[in-house]
Chains A and B, each alone.
Chain A
């Protein structure tokens, strides 16, 4: 009675609808950080409002129901929005608020690419790492016995015997000859891979508050998701700075709060050091992201920054992105300085992120060049 794969069609439709919903609500997801907070390994949970079919029903909190078991009047059965059991056994499972859907990061990146109209990145230089892989994709008539394909061999023998009328229905013995034997064969394929390094730098001086860091966190999640979909091997490095810079792990990067002044050049120097030591530029595609509120300590230091950028970082990097987050103390001068120096530089992108709603456009600015 089952038609094979019929459910696959419906499943594909469901996925399409989910995709469509995510696409339409991407701006919202990006500004609310709902998705980043739920990141698992390579799946993210996406809460979808109202994918279920609306029907007339009672508002839930007034309902409750009947249960069975131990306990005194007033004992808790559980908290939260949802009723612990179903209100009535005959009620169908309509207790849920919308639906949560798992979606792979790769797919999310794809959706993001489509919606933000991001160009695919053309990696620079030689695709360095080539992985070789054997694929068993063919059949041939010679080969080692260990690769003999039993089914194909049997089929060939059966074919031969039927066509020569040797096959006896009452005594259905099939004997393969040497010519009938079939073996698996393989092809060597090489998969070129290009690698990328992303260096995230963040200003953690006193003026960067929690909200500012949250914006950076959300924005880097999406940048990360996109770049990961473009490159096979990705290294991420995290640098925080106030008046001095240090390298930290991802976790610390988003949590730390320091106080004190701001010397942006310290971060650039450190990034420069990391690149020079560990990442040969002709093998790596290098992306630099720097987030700050733009309040640099001194004009001298800003000058120093521009010097490092011009002579050190920019020649080595695919792209340098500077995102200026607006803090409670306002937006600083640094963005203007960068614009002055590199306004027309095609590998420098700056973006002002006033609030969460601006994340969407800012990502578009950063990644829209396809470098």
Chain B
């Protein structure tokens, strides 16, 4: 790690001021200079050099180091969501690259600070990660690397089984116990005796009673209702030793910390790319640097067929939004215009573009962003298509250029990160303390070999047989693992 040389610090300060003038609002950002080895190392740790020991970071490092050595890829920048933010510059990059990265970083930090989905993330994560590292190292000293690492593997198998929206749910009251629910009275409106049967009619009271009885019945369920935060359920109810439980909680916390970055990949990279282009081309570069900038920018924006580059899609969408709001191309009035000529020349000169993109970066995530702002015109202009696997030819083929299908497929792949929705349905399945998970089937099957791997991990935590209900070949199927062998049987699939 090296200090930033003086001339670069001047450039950083300059870009920071320009970014601020444009209205970007970021945490203090500390830049550090690293060589490619350190860069690969930090990247392997997901940005946190102090993380706990685990083999997968070593695997990650090997892959990064190899693809760098073979000239396949190179990490340009890395920035950590933290207050203050840390950003790394690669030593030996040319000056235009560095300038691009610096501007890009400031926009990322603005996004971290202002986007709603980041609002609940721990802004002292650098300290927290170091803390996790220290705790896990202590467990390693006590229980040995094998045991601890194996258990971490187990936890990582389920680290996507969290509820991405739960940080935003505020629970005001403590849930009632089953006992309390049974003894509840139907609340009545105050009324004089002779009015009572009109103000509190018997049918209503009865129906409320039935409803309450149902609720009380449900309260016997465990969990009370299907729960998506399976990690939490296991922290609270799994059969674990103290150190195991601690590790599971840490990994859950890290999963929640990283989740918003996955939820806003297109938006975040688009935002950063929008601003590095804007800042560099309007205020920073001189004529001699433009070609170099175009070169690096085109590399960032490139995409192979069948690939969707989040940088490219994101920046194009922001620009489209800015343009539409500048010219008033939104709302009912605009939607209703059929005449091509009028559409083409439509410009109400509202100049709301900048305000709108700042609002969008504050309130949206990738799913809502695409849902609301990906228009048919945009999809056509950007040559979007859907593709799928053709079993007959054994090829991946372009399937459609229909807007509806493109949008649906894109949203599907973004919703829940393109991963299946899994719930805990029953923690006392068959009344034998078995665990029953539920896969909310939406047309795509689970991959069985992986599902089995996860069941094994779950068994390690639950210590009793674990099951998941899903659909295979259009029929309900129950996958089970009892600690020694995997079983499958058909069931009737009841959706939740």
Consensus secondary structure, chain A interface: loop
A residues in contact with B313, CB < 8 Å: 68, 89
- 9-residue interface stretch from A48-56, A114-122, A342-350: A48-56
Per the bound structure, the CA–CA distance linking A84 and B389 in Å amounts to 10
Cβ–Cβ < 8 Å partners of B305 in chain A: 67, 69-71, 77-78, 84-85
Contact B417 A85 (CB under 8 A): no
Tell me which residues across on chain B come within 8 A of A146, comparing CB atoms.
Answer: none
A88 in contact with B422 (CB, 8 Å): no
- Which residues in chain A, 57-83, are within 8 Å of chain B measured between CB atoms? 57-80, 83
Is B398 touching A65 in the complex (CB atoms < 8 A)? no
Contact call B266/A53, Cβ cutoff below 8 A:
no
B45, B145, B306: the one contacting A85 at CB < 8 Å is: B306
Q: Known: A1-B49, A15-B58, A69-B303. Is A58-B446 also a contact (CB below 8 A)?
A: yes
A12 within 8 A of B: yes
Tell me the smallest distance from the CB of B111 to a CB of chain A, in Å: 15
**Cross-chain contact B396 with A58 (CB below 8 angstroms):** no
Q: Which residues of B contact A251 (CB under 8 A)?
A: none
**Cβ contacts under 8 Å, B41 to chain A:** 2, 6-7
| Inter-subunit contact B62/A66 (CB<8 Å) | no
* Chain A interface residue count, Cβ-Cβ cutoff 8 angstroms: 56
Find out whether the CB atom of B419 lies under 8 angstroms from the CB atom of A66.
no
Chain A residues within an 8 Å CB radius of B371: none
CB-CB contacts below 8 Å: B151-201 with A: 153, 156-161
- Contact partner of A56 (CB less than 8 A), chosen from B38, B410, B446, is B446
Beta-carbon nearest neighbor of A73 in chain B? B398
CB of A177 within 8 A of chain B? no
Q: How far is the CA of A13 from the CA of B417 in the complex (A)?
A: 30
* Minimal Cβ-Cβ distance residue in A for B412: A88
A164 is an interface residue with CB less than 8 A from chain B: no
Query: Are B406 and A10 in touch, CB under 8 angstroms?
Result: no
B398 CB contact (under 8 Å) in A11, A71, A102: A71
Is B54 interfacial (CB-CB < 8 Å)? yes
Asked if B401 CB lies within 8 Å of chain A CBs, one says yes
Bound state CA distance, A72 and B305, in angstroms?
Answer: 12
Known: A64-B387, A90-B413. A10 touches B58 (CB 8 A): yes
- B418 to A67, Cβ gap below 8 A? no
Contact for A10 among B34, B55, B157, B418, CB less than 8 A: B55
**B309 and A89: CB pair below 8 A?**
yes
B365 to chain A, nearest CB (A): 10
A66 contacts which of B32, B54, B384 (Cβ < 8 Å)?
A: B384
Does residue A281 face the partner (Cβ distance < 8 Å to B)? Answer: no
**Pair B396/A84 contact, Cβ less than 8 Å:** yes
Instruction: Name the A residues within 8 Å of B309 (CB-CB).
Output: 68, 89
Closest 6 pairs (CB-CB, A-B): A54-B453, A88-B413, A85-B307, A64-B388, A14-B58, A84-B306
A-B contact pairs, 15 of them (CB 8 A): A1-B1, A6-B41, A9-B58, A54-B451, A54-B452, A56-B160, A65-B387, A66-B385, A68-B309, A73-B385, A85-B304, A86-B307, A87-B418, A89-B308, A90-B266
